[in-house]
Chains A and B, each alone.
Chain A
Amino acid sequence: MIHRRRATMAAFLLPAITVYAVFMLYPLGRGIYLSMTDSLGGPIAHFVGTEQYRAMADDPDVTAALWHTILYAAVVVIAQNGLGLLFASMLFRRPKVRKALSVTLLTPTLVSPVMAAFIWSYLFAPDGGINALLGLLGLDSLEHVWLGDTSTALYAVAAVNIWMFAGYSCAIFLAGYMSLPTELLDAAAVDGANGWRRFRSIEWPMLAPALTVNVTLSLIGSLKVFEFPLVLTNGGPAGSTETLTTLVYRNVFGGGKFALGIAISVLLLVTVVVLSSATSSLLRLRERRI
């Protein structure tokens, strides 16, 4: 009886496992195999071992894209979560405006990356919104060709990412704030702990789980970024915003370097898995110590 029940229950897994195996696990395995061949996407593929990976290591485009991806992720993770935490701590102390403002901050999250890139490509344009605003404020000297200058383009693209998801970080930090024990905060207030000390010694350590979630999510999200650099700059100027994903897309679907593109996608996978698991285990270790 119990055994038959178990068997029926296990059968519930079949549809999900089938779809997952065919459309996720099999392509994953085949991708790793194809990265060790000279495939051009057609039926012919010879095993060439680590040749693609060696070609990748010597390719300055790949090393540049890897560096851009990591720099981009670092900027986004720090700025997005810093802003989110600042907003959350201010909103937490102001219960009257908390709900309305935190929902308002979440609206950019709904916008698709393509549409956000549309809006910001005009704001960043030489005769666009930001430069016009700077001119209006009398700050003409700060006007800039934001997306056309190799020294600012990557940060401008990152700014769009931060604009979209700072409200999301804020919502997660705010949920963390709401779970803080009120007695503890009250006790600190009675003891006369001021704003910064209260934040540093009570709120910051107790927000550790929210920080872990926020940093891990934003790290994975920003390492996988695709639409922002594709639509805003298409990898330019001079390749300064080329990331691993745009490079994969270019090589696999445009350049006739099919197998190299797949090898770069394996590099992306390794980067995401290594960086995200290292970061999240470090942060979890920190949580346990607190």
Chain B
Amino acid sequence: MTSHTLSPEADTRPTTPRPSSDPAAAPTRSTLRRATKSLGTVLLCLGVLVFVLPFVFTVLTSLRTAADVARSPLGIPHTFTLKNFSDAFSQIHYGRSALNTLLITGLSCLSITVLGSLASYPLARITQGWSTWVYRLFIVGTSVPVFVVVAPLYLLMRDLNLLDNYAGVVFVYTAMFLPVAVFFYTSFIRSIPTDLEEAAALDGCGALRTFFTIILPLLRPITSTLLTFVSLQVWNDLIVPLVFLQDPDKRTVMVNAYSFIDPHTVQPTTLFPAALLGVLPLFLIFVFLQRHVVAGMSAGAVKS
């Protein structure tokens, strides 16, 4: 009885009394154990609270007036105002920059999933020397930090006239995240039995049609996992748009926030609403797609 919550399904399973070597001592030991466990739960909740506190503090502070915050930073807000948000909104040109970021994130996600899934099909199915060699070449890319290529990429973009061009940024993100996409898709396709494809081939179905009618529909779960990961990375990224998009009309949320707001001179009542606006779209996605997000962030990693 004492440790029946050990297994994940235990709370739904009937518990069976376990033999105890010392019946007299059992009640006190189990009370003690339960007390320790409750204490642990309290500590655990406190620990989690410490991680959430910065958010709570950020939200509360952004709803207060600057004078009120200056008087007592940790005080409870008396009057609420949304003026800070409208100030931050115009300061980082939120409407325009959020649209830019959305466009870049959307196009990058599209190009990464299309190119990645197409490339992974032959890499998973052809077991010849050159195929493993190409696969390895892609995997090498997972450990190349973008800083290693950023300077030569800048020269290349300049020569190709792709600076200040959304297409250039989308190409960079595609190249950056193709290794992850290839890794995800290849290992997933390898786990699909080949029977269906062989039957399709016997019926005279070409490789292209086989891919679109048989393989692609099966890739949906792994695609949503991949998309969560990629959209999070692209939306939040600073360095790529900072270097490759200098036209003020094309800048992203993160670049505008970085260039217009100096966190060391700006009041928290300007700083925090700006931070919340930058995070807001992802939080909305998180609320609606929570299951996929959690899977996208943890499941993918364990498989590697």
Contacts and interface: CB of A to CB of B under 8 A. Distances in A.
B103 interface: no
Interface stretch (B79-87, B152-160, B217-225): B152-160
B236 A226 contact: no
Contacts of B179: 20
Contacts of A27: 149, 152-153, 156
B35 interface: no
B149 A28 contact: yes
Nearest to A116: B275
Contacts of B138: 20
B147 A224 contact: yes
Nearest to B128: A6
A268 B147 contact: yes
B189 to A, nearest CB: 12
A31 B239 CA distance: 17
Interface string B132-151: 00100110010111111111
B171 A23 contact: yes
Given A19-B178, A107-B52, A175 B302 contact: yes
B294 A101 contact: no
A153 interface: no
Chain A binding surface SS class: helix
A44 interface: no
B297 A9 contact: no
Given A5-B201, A129-B57, A172-B302, A10 B294 contact: no
Contacts of A262: 151-152
Interface residues of B, number: 101
Given A109-B297, A167-B51, A182-B8, A13 B122 contact: yes
B14 interface: no
A122 B61 CA distance: 11
A39 to B, nearest CB: 9
A104 B149 contact: no
Given A12-B122, A231-B258, A245 B279 contact: no
A97 B42 CA distance: 11
Contacts of A253: 243
Nearest to B141: A24
Contact of A249 (B147, B208, B264): B147
B298 A172 contact: yes
Interface in B95-153: 111, 115-116, 118-119, 121-123, 125-126, 134, 137-138, 141, 143-153
A9 B263 contact: no
B161 interface: no
Nearest to B174: A19
A17 B73 contact: no
Interface string B221-242: 0000000000010011111000
Contacts of B111: 19
A117 B264 CA distance: 11
A16 B148 contact: no
A47 interface: no
Contacts of A245: 145, 147
Interface string B255-299: 001100101100010011011101100110010001001100111
Given A9-B126, A106-B294, A101 B48 contact: yes
A152 interface: no
Contact of B155 (A12, A17, A41): A41
Contacts of A106: 293-294, 297
Interface of B: 3, 5-11, 18-19, 21, 37, 40-41, 43-45, 47-48, 51-52, 54-55, 57-58, 73-74, 111, 115-116, 118-119, 121-123, 125-126, 134, 137-138, 141, 143-156, 171-172, 174-176, 178-179, 182, 201, 206-208, 211, 232, 235-239, 243, 254, 257-258, 261, 263-264, 268, 271-272, 274-276, 278-279, 282-283, 286, 290, 293-294, 297-299, 301-302, 304
The 4 closest A-B pairs by CB, nearest first: A112-B236, A16-B119, A23-B175, A121-B263
Given A26-B156, A127-B73, A224-B147, 19 more contacts: A12-B121, A13-B122, A20-B141, A31-B152, A95-B5, A95-B11, A101-B44, A101-B48, A104-B51, A106-B293, A107-B286, A112-B235, A115-B236, A122-B271, A174-B298, A176-B302, A185-B7, A192-B21, A226-B238
30 contacts: A5-B206, A8-B206, A8-B207, A10-B126, A12-B118, A12-B119, A12-B122, A12-B207, A15-B118, A23-B171, A26-B152, A26-B156, A28-B148, A87-B48, A106-B293, A110-B283, A112-B278, A112-B282, A115-B257, A118-B257, A119-B275, A121-B263, A128-B73, A129-B74, A168-B297, A231-B263, A249-B150, A253-B243, A265-B147, A273-B143
